[in-house]
Amino acid sequence: MRNLPLIFIILLIAFGCKPTSDKSYNTDIDSNITINQQEKINDFAIIIHGGAGTILKENMSDEKEVAYSAKLEEAVKVGHTILKNGGTSQEAVMKTIQVMEESPLFNAGKGAVFTNEGTNELDASFMDGKTLNAGAVAGVTNVKSPIELAIKIMTDSEHVMLSGKGASIFAEEKGLEIVDPSYFYTEKRFKSLQRIIEREKTELDHNDKTAAFYDADIKNAKFGTVGCVALDKNGNIAAGTSTGGMTNKRWGRIGDAPIIGSGTYANNKTCGVSSTGWGEYFIRNQVAYDISAQMEYKNISLKEATKNVIQHKLTALGGTGGVVALDKNGNMSFEFNTAGMYRASMDEKGNLVIKIYKE
């Protein structure tokens, strides 16, 4: 009996030192090391999109394809040059998006789509991954660069989002360029609105509630947003998104682009994301934030997170669109569930990727 304490101590040591058989626990540790302690593959990088939707090669003229590719290249190179020269991710995102805002090819700024009332109402957002500070604007009609206004709201006000007339007053007070609303007019976008309105009248006349879904203009009425994510040499991630919203939108409708966590999100701990697609579904899914959260809490890679959110969660609810994303280590991801997405990227070595169609 006097040996019982000694036997008990020996048993405790033996079982306490036994290797665990809990494979999930070991996997979590390994995954944490893989995701959070991996080496950088890029000290700086940039990734952009110009909208997603029914983009098919058979419907694209050679001339139009060249034009889109050239503008994507111009935009991504502007940001890449800033990053290469030691500039900030904030500056790179703003300048890159401004190239696309000033092009009638995209649904942002100069190429914005029309509301049902025949006006252009612009939305944008920006987020800084270092501070988690953010700025956003919705429904402005006379500010030349909505992305610049979103950043100015972040840096020069105590607010995150401003809208409509108030946002325009703020922009003017801060010295941003104000333009006549006619600046945003493009014949192509206006004709798209007219075709959709005419189709709606046909639906009412024939009581056919499904006909409009076969109209190309209506199919793509929700797409064309532009966005950018950049990682600078200081390890800071920034993300921004700018859009004209949905063609034929009514009642001051606002989509996901100006909603932090839906259309835009950035966090130096994980990644930056810019979204494009059917905004209502991106809002309901908090798509941009969800990708970051899955990386942080599930310890999965950027590619796994973007694929899970877009191809599974978003698709399961009936949402369509895509994202561009860039993580803290310079990994990049294009993910979309539509027929195409205008997109481009450049890494620290200057490797340029430009794509339009689904592969």
How confident is the model over 194-238, as pLDDT tens digits? 999 888 887 655 554 444 443 455 455 556 799 999 999 999 999
Q: How far apart, in whole angstroms, are the C-alpha atoms of residue 286 and residue 264? A: 9
H or E element at residue 231: strand 226-231
Within the chain, residue ranges assigned H as helices are 4-16, 23-36, 62-84, 89-101, 146-156, 164-173, 187-206, 216-219, 279-285, 287-298, 302-307, 315-317
Q: How far apart, in whole angstroms, are the C-alpha atoms of residue 323 and residue 343? A: 10
The residue among 57 and 158 whose pLDDT is bigger is 158
Q: How far apart, in whole angstroms, are the C-alpha atoms of residue 299 and residue 337? A: 24
How confident is the model over 18-75, as pLDDT tens digits? 333 333 323 233 334 344 446 789 999 999 999 998 888 888 899 999 999 999 999 9
Nearest to 275 by CA among 311, 340, 324: 324
Identify the DSSP state of 338: S
The answer on pLDDT for 298 being more than 60 is yes
Q: How far apart, in whole angstroms, are the C-alpha atoms of residue 237 and residue 232? A: 7
Counting residues of the chain whose pLDDT is more than 70, the rounded percentage is 84
Query: Which among 88, 141, 225, 276 is annotated as catalytic?
Result: 225
Q: Copy the structure tokens of residue 336.
A: 């979309």
C-alpha 332 chain-centroid distance: 13
Q: Which domains does the chain have, with CATH numbers?
A: 45-357 (3.60.20.30)
225 in active site: yes
Counting residues of the chain whose pLDDT is more than 90, the rounded percentage is 78
How confident is the model over 174-183, as pLDDT tens digits? 999 999 999 9
Contact 237, 295 (CB under 8 A): no
